[in-house]
Amino acid sequence: MPRIINFSAGPSILPQTVFEQASQAVLNLNNSGLSILEISHRSSYFEPILHEAGQLVRDLLGLTDEFEVLFLSGGASTQFFMTVMNLLPEGQKAAYVDTGVWSSKAINEAKILGSIDVIASSKDANYNYIPKGYKIASDYAYLHLTSNNTIYGTQYQSFPESPIPIVCDMSSDIFSKPIEPHRFGLIYGGAQKNLGPAGVTLVIVRKDMLGKVNKTLPTMLRYETHIQNESMYNTPPVFPIYVSMLTLRWLRDLGGLTAMQKINERKAKYLYDVIDAIPFYLGHSVPEDRSRMNVTFNLEDNSLSKEFQAFCEEAGCDGLKGHKSVGGFRASIYNAMPEEGVKVLAEVMKEFALKHA
């Protein structure tokens, strides 16, 4: 059977070489005679893996020693409230920008535990743009943003000038392009897009963000716990961390984030060019805020949707169904999606439009 081209929004495609290396390690890790699935996290087998994963995160993003890198579990959904618990002192407020379902979830969790203001939103246009030009008061503890919005296909092309540290959910575009780390107080993301398989969450925290909340938290919910124990306070998700390390190695070998950014921009252009050239396809995002990770579009004639999906699947293109809140289609073209895969889809889209012209 030929390999499927997987456009799933996440968990999503990883590099083929990573699948091969991971498969081998499940049988025999580095010729140790042990499976990656059975090694102790306290063993000499795992410690270099965890260390290398952390170092690759630092090197790729260009993090200074001001930042701690943590591999946790629980997903971005757990970070929605851990950020508030750890970063928002009593009596202070945080600012949130609402760019869709995921930032709304972050907002709802923050409201359970603290006091926040939603200072900008693009809800008025079904989140088809990134709000800009709003005022950010300097007395907020932090500004929370969602860098890429998988459902709507919008993405910050640049982050707002902020007088306060940005706390950013980068689940769906981290490692897709260089960032300026000093603008951020905390970055978090579930692994299952650009980093690795589902089951591990990356947290990058600037040390001076911590120590301002006095409340006694459960030990597992304190960032300090995981910093002091180097992500090993409890048993970490060994295999998801291992596969993330392999994926980060692949990214380094490919040239790092600057090289990745160029590839990602080229890939996105193939699809947006089709959308812009053929009125048959209607892009959801306004052009200036278009995501390089998730290309969302509807058909001008919705009644052809089922036929279009079948036509794509016939060509091996899987996972294109859009999220119910936007409808239509979504091509997720994360780091590991090969250019060839995107080209296949672009051709399929042209062909289908021609057929129905």
Binding site for a second copy (CB under 8 A): 1-4, 6, 8-14, 19-20, 22-24, 26-28, 31-35, 37-41, 43, 73-78, 80-81, 105, 108-109, 112-113, 190, 192, 196-200, 216-221, 233-240, 243, 318-319
DSSP result, 61-104: HT--TTEEEEEESSHHHHHHHHHHHHH--TT-EEEEEE-SHHHH
Residue number, 22 or 69, with CB nearest to a second copy = 22
CA 170-75-200 angle, to 5 degrees, is 95
The distance of closest approach from Cβ of residue 268 to a second copy in the complex, given in angstroms and rounded to an integer, is: 20
Binding site annotation covers 77?
yes
Binding site annotation covers 250?
no
Residue number, 229 or 302, with CB nearest to a second copy = 229
98, 173, 193, 267: the active-site residue: 193
CA 46-52-54 angle, to 5 degrees, is 105
Residue number, 159 or 311, with CB nearest to a second copy = 311
Binding site annotation covers 192?
yes
Distance separating alpha carbons of residues 320 and 299, to the nearest angstrom: 13
Residue number, 128 or 176, with CB nearest to a second copy = 176
Nearest to 350 by CA among 285, 275, 287: 275
The distance of closest approach from Cβ of residue 311 to a second copy in the complex, given in angstroms and rounded to an integer, is: 18
Token pair listed for 211 = 């120590």
The distance of closest approach from Cβ of residue 39 to a second copy in the complex, given in angstroms and rounded to an integer, is: 6
102, 173, 267, 289: the active-site residue: 102
Task: Respond yes or no: is residue 102 known to be catalytic.
Answer: yes
Residue 72, beta-bridge partner list: 201
Binding site annotation covers 234?
yes
Task: Respond yes or no: is residue 193 known to be catalytic.
Answer: yes
Give the DSSP H/E element, type plus range, for residue 348.
helix 339-355
The distance of closest approach from Cβ of residue 33 to a second copy in the complex, given in angstroms and rounded to an integer, is: 4
Binding site annotation covers 42?
yes
Residue number, 195 or 346, with CB nearest to a second copy = 195
Rg for the chain (alpha carbons), in Å?
A: 21
169, 173, 177, 289: the active-site residue: 169
The distance of closest approach from Cβ of residue 288 to a second copy in the complex, given in angstroms and rounded to an integer, is: 29
Buried b (16+ CB within 10 A) or exposed e, 239-269: bbbbbbbbbbbbbeeeebbeebbebbeebbe
CA distances (Å), origin 46, targets 20, 41, 73: 19, 5, 17
Distance separating alpha carbons of residues 16 and 13, to the nearest angstrom: 9
The distance of closest approach from Cβ of residue 115 to a second copy in the complex, given in angstroms and rounded to an integer, is: 14
Q: Tokens 């932090």 belong to which residue?
A: 142
Task: Respond yes or no: is residue 301 known to be catalytic.
Answer: no
Token pair listed for 127 = 């989140």
Binding site annotation covers 102?
yes
Residue number, 108 or 157, with CB nearest to a second copy = 108
Residue list, annotated binding site for pyridoxal 5'-phosphate: 76-77, 102, 150, 169, 192, 234-235
Residue list, annotated binding site for L-glutamate: 42
Residue list, annotated binding site: 42, 76-77, 102, 150, 169, 192, 234-235
Catalytic residues: 102, 169, 193
